[in-house]
C-alpha cells in the first residue's frame, strides 16, 4: 500500500472529506481542520490511497509519545492493515495508545490482531440544533466577529487560553512554565479562516458593556452531515462564571439550525480535573455519550 506525507491544503481537505464521509466513525471534519490548520495534531501525517478519494491516514500525536491517530475507510481492509503496519514500524515508543470510534469494527479488528487491548473510554457531548431561550448576563451581547476585529479576536482567544489561568481543579493543576502564553497568532487565525468548513457567521464573540471582547468560539458546520462541532470555546478569566460559555453554545445551536443543521457536537466530556467546560455544556443542554474506546499495546517497540 503506497503511503505519502500530508503536504499541502489539498491534502488537509482530503482528510476532512474522508472524516465527513465516515462521520460519526472518528473525527468531525471541523475539529480536524482546526487541529491541522494550527499544526497541533501531529508533526507528521501519512496518507494512504489515491487522491481525491483518500482511504486512510495515520499520525503520531503531537504531545504524548506513543499516542497514535488514524482514520480508515471501513471498506478498505488493505488500508487498515497498512495503518497497523505503519504503527508497528513507526510508533517510536515501546507503549502505544490509540482511540477508535465506536462502530469502527474494521480498524478495531486490525488493531486487536496486532495485540492492542481495551484500556478505557473517551466521552463526547452533543445536543440538537434548535432555537431555545438564551438569557445573557446584563451588559453582554453575542454576535459574529467583524472583519475589522482581527487583532481583538486574536487577543480574546489568547487571554481565554492563557495556560496559567485555565480553570483546572486545584489539585489537578499542571505545572506551567513562567511566561507561557497561547500559541494563537494572527497568522494562525488566518490559517484557520482559510480552512474548510469555516464560516465567519459561526465565528462568535461575547461583547461586554464597554465593547471589549469577553469570550469567543468557532462552530464548524458540515452540511453533508448536518453536524457542527464547537472548537474551540474560551472565556477571558475576569468574565468567567457568568454563563457566557453556555450562552455561546445556545447561540451556536440556533445558528446551526438556521443553516439547516441538526446537531452540535463537542469533542470532550465531563472531567474531574477540568470541570468547568463540562458543566457549561451540560447547562446548555448537551448530553454525554461514549465517543471512542481507547486501546493500548504495551511493549510494542518501534522499528
Break the chain into its structural domains and give their ranges: 3-123+292-297, 127-290
Instruction: Look at residue 301 in the predicted model and tell me its pLDDT.
Output: 47
Give the residues of the chain that fall short of pLDDT 50: 301-303
Instruction: Look at residue 1 in the predicted model and tell me its pLDDT.
Output: 65
Instruction: Look at residue 303 in the predicted model and tell me its pLDDT.
Output: 42
Instruction: Look at residue 166 in the predicted model and tell me its pLDDT.
Output: 95
Instruction: Look at residue 3 in the predicted model and tell me its pLDDT.
Output: 82
- The CATH number assigned to the domain with range 127-290 reads 3.40.630.30
Instruction: Look at residue 302 in the predicted model and tell me its pLDDT.
Output: 44
Residue from 204, 198, 205, 200 nearest 221 by CA: 198
The single residue listed with the C-alpha cell 478519494 is 53
Bridge partner residues of 143 (DSSP)? 205
Q: How many CA atoms lie within 13 A of 201 on its CB side?
A: 9
Cα 266 to Cα 114, 137, 220: the distances in Å are: 31, 23, 11
Model pLDDT for residues 31-86, shown as the tens digit of each residue: 999 999 998 888 789 999 877 779 999 988 877 778 889 999 999 999 999 999 98
Q: Do 127-290 and 3-123+292-297 fall under one CATH topology?
A: yes
Cα 161 to Cα 157, 164, 205, 230: the distances in Å are: 6, 9, 15, 15
CA dist 145 and 202 (Å) reads: 9
Cα 129 to Cα 3, 13, 31, 285: the distances in Å are: 38, 25, 18, 10
Bridge partner residues of 297 (DSSP)? 96
Bridge partner residues of 234 (DSSP)? 216
* CATH architecture under which domain 3-123+292-297 falls: 3-Layer(aba) Sandwich (3.40)
Instruction: Look at residue 91 in the predicted model and tell me its pLDDT.
Output: 60
- Structural contact between residues 98 and 295, judged by C-beta atoms closer than 8 angstroms: yes
Q: Is 67 helix (H, G, I), strand (E, B) or coil?
A: strand
| Mean pLDDT value across the chain | 93
Amino acid at each position: 500500500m503506497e503511503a505519502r506525507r500530508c503536504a499541502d491544503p489539498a491534502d488537509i481537505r482530503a482528510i476532512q472529506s474522508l472524516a465527513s464521509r465516515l462521520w460519526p466513525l472518528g473525527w468531525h471534519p471541523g475539529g480536524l481542520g482546526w487541529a491541522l490548520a494550527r499544526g497541533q495534531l501531529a508533526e507528521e501525517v501519512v496518507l494512504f490511497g489515491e487522491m481525491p478519494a483518500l482511504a486512510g491516514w495515520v499520525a503520531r500525536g503531537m504531545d504524548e509519545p506513543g499516542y497514535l491517530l488514524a482514520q480508515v475507510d471501513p471498506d478498505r481492509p488493505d488500508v487498515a492493515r497498512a495503518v497497523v503496519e505503519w504503527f508497528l514500524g513507526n510508533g517510536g515508543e515501546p507503549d502505544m495508545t490509540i482511540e477508535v470510534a465506536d462502530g469502527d469494527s474494521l480498524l478495531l479488528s486490525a488493531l486487536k490482531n496486532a495485540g492492542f487491548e481495551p484500556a478505557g473510554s473517551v466521552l463526547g457531548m452533543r445536543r440538537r440544533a434548535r432555537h431555545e431561550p438564551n438569557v445573557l448576563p446584563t451588559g453582554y451581547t453575542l454576535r459574529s466577529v467583524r472583519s475589522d476585529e482581527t487583532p481583538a479576536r486574536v487577543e480574546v482567544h489568547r487571554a481565554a487560553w492563557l495556560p496559567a489561568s485555565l480553570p483546572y481543579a486545584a489539585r489537578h493543576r499542571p505545572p506551567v512554565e513562567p511566561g507561557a502564553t497561547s500559541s494563537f497568532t494572527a497568522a494562525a487565525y488566518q490559517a484557520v479562516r482559510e480552512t474548510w468548513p469555516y464560516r465567519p457567521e459561526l465565528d462568535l464573540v461575547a461583547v461586554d458593556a464597554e465593547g471589549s471582547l469577553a469570550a469567543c468560539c468557532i462552530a464548524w458546520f458540515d452540511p453533508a452531515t448536518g453536524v457542527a462541532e464547537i472548537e474551540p470555546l474560551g472565556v477571558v478569566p475576569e468574565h468567567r462564571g457568568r454563563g457566557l460559555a453556555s450562552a455561546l453554545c445556545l447561540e451556536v445551536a440556533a445558528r446551526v439550525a438556521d443553516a439547516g443543521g441538526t446537531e452540535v457536537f463537542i469533542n470532550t466530556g465531563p472531567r474531574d480535573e477540568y470541570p468547568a467546560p463540562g458543566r457549561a455544556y451540560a447547562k446548555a443542554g448537551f448530553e454525554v455519550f461514549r465517543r471512542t474506546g481507547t486501546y493500548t499495546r504495551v511493549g510494542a517497540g518501534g522499528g
